[in-house]
Chain A
Amino acid sequence: MPEVRLFATCLVEEFYPSVIESAALVLERLKLKVRPLRSAFCCAQAPFNEGLRDEAVDLARRFLKSCEPGTPVVIPSGSCTSMVKIFYSDLLADDPALAKKAAAMRPWLFEFSQFLVNVLKVKYVGARFDRTAVYHPACHLTRELRVVDEPRLLLGAVQNLRMVDFRNPEECCGFGGAFSVKLPHISAAMVEDKIVRIKESGATAVIANDCGCLMQIGGALHRQGLQVETFHLAEVLAAR
């Protein structure tokens, strides 16, 4: 049975353990042997985005030590995937050995929906989810990894799921990691406007591939007392 590594990411470990269980379940149903990647905790994006490069390099080293080219690493986050797949080359430019390892790993790193659609070539995974939902395309997923159609294809094949559109879906939800607490007023204004548009759509669920967006959108929906829930794509695909 082919093996994949599954990297939970820090937000999933801390706040959304069900996402990693769901992702593992979906992959196992597709006859893969799933081995969690647990010797790293964070992809380094948090310190990198704050300008703390030395701290980020340490975490990147840790992540790269815990995986080897030849075995795919699947990550249920567009943001963390773009960190390890794209931003590592900038971060590690001054460390040739690490940069080389990062380059060798690059073809083996996949965001969850990217792996399902482009590598496993599946769309229908036997999921059933009885909801009216919008899909929020996360920024790094869309504009760094250019993963645009894959999540929609997967969602389109989920039984009983009715996807609806909402205005300006690609505009950022305002999470931005430390940005959300460093410039909280701007971050809150961004999600406030996003929620106005979600409300208009009549959806009862928001689906995204990034737990940062889910925290931000879910947190604001809950604060406003709205009956709209947030789900990670993996959770939807695992539901039956």
Chain B
Amino acid sequence: MAAAKPDPIPDFLETSRKGVADADLRRKLENSTGRHLEHVAHMRAEFPGYDGERDVARRIKEDAIGRLDELLIELKQKLEANGCTVFVAADAAEARDYIIKIARKASARHVVKGKSMTTEEIDLNPALQAAGMEVVETDLGEYIVQLRRERPSHIITPAIHLSKEDIGQLFADQLGIAYTAEPEALTAAARERLRSIFLGADLGVTGVNFAIAETGTLVLIENEGNGRLTSTLPETFIAVMGIEKVIPKLADLSHFLEILARTGTGQKLTTYTNFISGPRREGELDGPRAMHVVILDNGRSAMLADPVMREALYCLRCGACLNVCPVYRRIGGHAYNSPYPGPIGSIVSPNLFGSAAAKLPFASTLCGACRDICPVKIDIPRILLHLRWKETQAQPPTKWPADARRTRAGVRRFARMARHPRTLRLLSRIGGWMLRPFARDRYLRRMPGPFKNWTRWGRDFPAPGARRRKPRGEG
């Protein structure tokens, strides 16, 4: 561990540089995200109702987020009527403290977890471990990254940064099995380990995909059955959800199920759709004895209060925007230093983690691919622009390195000069004359000032005005 630093979260510029320099990582990302995008395209093509369902789902979210207070009250009442204990946590610390309190009360020592980004957000695992509990992630991808003592690098495919060979090596080293890169053999090895862990677990923790206010039902979708085991085997079960997960009615759910897996994993439907409606009732043979639901705010109500930001609360966490993002595909999820990477992470993280994530909205060319693939059509570029504007006014200002500060100053100077086109034209003509002697074949190999980073990073710079003559038909 490094000595105490003022900012414990590594800088995005640093980590993203590491990402692009890792050719192996980029190849893996391009392959897996590319495969995913093909599946999604196929799914969209074969289901003509897809776009209609998107619009319906979007409208349901608009309605639900628009009357969130009322729906949360209804949800809480229904959950309690179903026998659950509900706790509303204002922030990550409150949520962690509550979960640890419940775990202690249940004398839990072995905790199993279903895949949950919300528990990543509140850093639950280290807190449980510090309280003396053993915590095992049971989603295969999460299990893999946990063995590597890493964070997930994607919200749906946590181990997307690893190849099957990487995983084979990991299992050989840590599980003591003979090296193999056969996915089936690796899955079987993990499954065998996890079975006994499940049987010995006394506390289960999962996330939530949808919470139905009308019935007090939590819906958890997954592909491995680990969510079902986590929510039914241990004596105590805790579900952790953000306030935005609530939807009004059971009938609303089908519209989301029609689009979520299609966009998220390129499946028609996930293998498991769990409907969790409270703890074991009298006469029932299985299910947890006690069930708690932690409803987390942690910055979300501030997003709700901001009319531009609010749209981000419609997110279903399908992960498709990560796969299609040309930035994510080059730097990988770990570069973002947030449990939520990629385009959705770049708009959500600054609201959850403040200044530590303030640079993320700038990690985009505003290409719009994320908005086009989003199942509920969140206008991510618009929100990125909004957050950029807010960042320019942040107090204290974000710590940018000198060249980024110079870039902003340069843009500001240019914008002020551009109010006087005649003067700017004259100045740029003079600048062009000065630079032209250095041009080779209409390009400059090295540029000064704000453009230094252009030529330093793999690109020659067009000599100002050099391209005067129109190309001829001969080409």
Contacts and interface: CB of A to CB of B under 8 A. Distances in A.
Interface of A: 10, 13-19, 21-22, 25, 38-42, 44, 46-53, 55-56, 58-59, 62, 87, 90, 127-131, 139-140, 142-144, 160, 168, 170-172, 174-193, 204-205, 215-216, 218-220, 222-224, 229, 231, 235-236, 238-240
B462 A219 contact: yes
A16 B432 CA distance: 12
Given A59-B415, A182-B362, A182-B453, 10 more contacts: A10-B418, A15-B464, A16-B467, A47-B411, A181-B451, A183-B16, A188-B20, A218-B443, A222-B459, A240-B472
A190 B415 contact: no
B326 A171 contact: yes
A157 to B, nearest CB: 14
Contacts of A19: 467
A50 B459 contact: no
A190 to B, nearest CB: 5
B415 A219 contact: no
Interface of B: 13, 16-17, 20-21, 26, 30, 34, 326-327, 330-331, 362-369, 371-372, 382, 385, 388-392, 403-404, 407-408, 411-412, 414-416, 418-419, 421, 424-425, 428, 432, 441, 443, 445, 450-454, 456-475
A224 B369 CA distance: 28
Given A52-B415, A179-B365, A219 B443 contact: yes
B415 A56 contact: yes
A174 B26 contact: no
Contacts of A42: 414-415, 418
A140 B459 contact: no
Given A10-B418, A21-B470, A143-B372, A50 B363 contact: no
B459 A188 contact: yes
Contacts, number: 222
Nearest to B417: A41
A189 B458 CA distance: 9
Contacts of B418: 10, 41-42, 59, 62
B424 A41 contact: yes
Contacts of B457: 184-185, 187-188
B385 to A, nearest CB: 7
A179 B467 contact: no
B443 A179 contact: no
